[in-house]
Structure 1
Amino acid sequence: MPLQAHYAQTLPKPRFRYTPCIQAGPFYQLAGMIALDAATGQLEAGGVAAETDKIMRNMLGALPEYGLRLDQLMIARIFTTRFDQFADINRIWEGYFPEGATPPARTAMGVAALPLGAAVEIEFCFYKEETP
């Protein structure tokens, strides 16, 4: 099965050489996202909560271009340089998955540094059932 690259006009252009979304069969792997503004290319100000919210809004904005929905999100991996503020990250995260919704699997890791001085990076993996 060949890999298929996907790009979204709503997302900031990659600053490095990578593909924002790769599809392998029913799996869609989104590259790690930091909280960049698509119009300015600048990192969202305001700390981990603001960065987490911007990442989630960027991801949601790209989903229609990838042909995906939030309920197809299988797993997310959160990386942060501020694990001491993980409660703020989690509070924003939970707002996107209200009570009664099935949230995806999730992994969270504390790291020493992230690209462009970001405090949060999240990568996403979706599963989209192929229709015959």
Structure 2
Amino acid sequence: MTENQFESTVVVEISPQTEELVESEMAGETDELKRETKALIEALKRRAQAEAESAGTLTRETYLNAVRQAREALEGEKLIERDRLERSFAVVQEEAEKNWHLLLKEISEFGDRLQNAAKAAWEAFNAPRPES
């Protein structure tokens, strides 16, 4: 790290509601992804509340606008995650298809070898024998 670069760490208190929401909706995701999503939700909630309070009073319309902005931001995150998951699935599917084709090729080659071995055994079995 150079002198001009630094990393800041912000401690964000996660509400029980956010904790429960993220854990239930993102089961199976990495801890880092869950942690970052929780922090994003809390930041959006704080920003929505700050914007609503800066308007003077917490009116219904101001609150709805702040909630709408938070939802749109989260949906944007979900789209990014869905795209990433779809790309990952496509890669896994391509690998599975490639492996399937390799397996079929190996089975075909094995079948050919068995057929050749059976033919060789049959020819050896039916070969003329010297008379004793």
Using structure 2 for the length normalisation, give the TM-score: 0.25
Structure number with greater CO (CA < 8 Å, separation at least 6) is 1
More helix by share: 2
Bigger Cα Rg:
2
More strand by share: 1
Using structure 1 for the length normalisation, give the TM-score: 0.25
